[in-house]
Amino acid sequence: MPPPVAPPPLPPKPVTPEWVFTLLRTVLAVLLVALVTAGITLLYRKTGWEGIWKLTLIGTCGLFTLMSVLVIVGGALDIRKLFRRLREREASGDSDSAD
């Protein structure tokens, strides 16, 4: 008779149920929308439409700057990866049939 084999241990149960995280995300989204709406309303009361358009311009320029930096960094990393793959292919002696 073969020796008994212990069954593999069961994975631990998640400490926090998934619905809690869904509820948290929903509450945070609602609070964010409420805060932005309140901020825009207060800004409109103080400065009128001029303040709203200034905020829109500054926010749009900030988002454009952020996206530009992300694209530049991501592109540089892709080019480094391309050169590394080309060096590896050259070192291994693989010939590319597409040339």
Q: Do the domain assignments include residue 4?
A: no
Q: Which of 52, 33, 31 is nearest to 42 (CA)?
A: 52
Q: Do the domain assignments include residue 10?
A: no
Q: Do the domain assignments include residue 44?
A: yes
> Cα 54 to chain center, whole Å?
27
Contacts of 89 (CB under 8 A, 6+ apart): 96
Q: Do the domain assignments include residue 3?
A: no
What's the pLDDT score for residue 24? 94
Element (H, E) at 67: helix 49-92
What's the pLDDT score for residue 2? 80
Confidence of residue 18 (pLDDT cuts 50, 70, 90): confident
Q: Do the domain assignments include residue 14?
A: no
What's the pLDDT score for residue 95? 61
Q: Do the domain assignments include residue 65?
A: yes
Q: Do the domain assignments include residue 97?
A: no
Residues 52, 40 contacting (CB under 8 angstroms) = yes
Number of domains in the chain: 1
| Interior angle at CA 29, CA 23 and CA 35, nearest 5 | 135
Kindly report, residue by residue over 29-61, the tens digit of the pLDDT.
Answer: 999 999 999 998 998 899 999 989 999 999 999
Give whole-number Cα distances, 71 to 64, 65, 84, in Å.
10, 10, 20
| Residue range of the domain that includes 75 | 21-90
Which residue type is seen at 77?
A: L
Q: Do the domain assignments include residue 12?
A: no
